[in-house]
């Protein structure tokens, strides 16, 4: 039976299972490093056994960092009509790709 957990990192919440890999906000760890996440909820796949944290269950989800990188470039343009004002900026969000090793 597979466990499902909801973790919180980088101001966002993610629904994960063991073996999942996902991109999250960049963590200050090296590639290959281990990370523990605050767990908000743990449930089995059938939904019968559910543990809800108040506000969290503690460090119960362990993960490994697979890679650190930057996402695609997002272009932001400011423009004001009839005043010859145009400003273009770009932004690339940094991320960490992780793999969930163990829940609980």
Is residue 79 predicted with pLDDT exceeding 70?
Answer: yes
74: CB partners within 8 A, 6+ apart: 90, 91, 92, 93
Q: What angle do CA 6, 10, 12 make, to 5 degrees?
A: 45
If one counts the domains in the chain, the total is 1
Residue 86 belongs to a domain: no
Residue 84 belongs to a domain: no
Residue 75 belongs to a domain: no
Is residue 80 predicted with pLDDT exceeding 90?
Answer: yes
pLDDT of residue 2: 80
Which domain, by its residues, includes 7?
A: 3-69+96-103
pLDDT of residue 1: 65
């Amino acid at each position: 039976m597979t466990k499902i957990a909801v973790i919180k990192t980088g101001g966002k919440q993610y629904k994960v299972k063991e073996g999942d890999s996902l991109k999250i906000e960049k963590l200050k760890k090296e590639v290959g490093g281990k990370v523990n996440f605050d767990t908000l909820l743990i449930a089995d796949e059938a939904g019968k056994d559910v543990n809800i944290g108040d506000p969290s269950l503690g460090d119960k989800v362990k993960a490994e960092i697979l890679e650190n990188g930057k996402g695609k470039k997002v272009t932001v343009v400011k423009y004001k009509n009839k005043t010859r004002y145009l400003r273009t900026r770009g932004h690339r969000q940094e991320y960490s790709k992780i793999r969930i090793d163990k829940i609980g």
